[in-house]
Amino acid sequence: MLSAAELDFATRETGDLPAWLKETAFRIWPWAAAKTLTLRLHGQTVLVKLRERSSILVGEISGFEPNTAAPGGVHVGDLIVFRPAHIFAVRD
- The parent domain of residue 62 ranges over 2-12+33-91
How much is the pLDDT for 51?
A: 84
28 falls within a domain: no
Record the pTM: 0.76
With respect to residue 23, please indicate whether it lies within any of the assigned structural domains.
Answer: no
| pLDDT of 25 | 44
The answer as to whether 17 is a domain residue is no
- Which of 73, 26, 77, 27 is closest to 51 using CA atoms? 77
pLDDT tens for the 92 residues of the chain, in order: 899 999 999 988 755 555 555 544 444 455 566 778 899 998 889 999 988 777 678 999 999 987 777 777 899 999 999 988 898 888 76
Per the structure, how many domains does the chain have? 1
> Looking at the domain assignment, is residue 71 inside a domain?
yes
Q: Which residues are CB-contacts of 55 (< 8 A; sequence separation ≥ 6)?
A: none
Please check whether residue 85 lies inside any domain of the structure.
Answer: yes
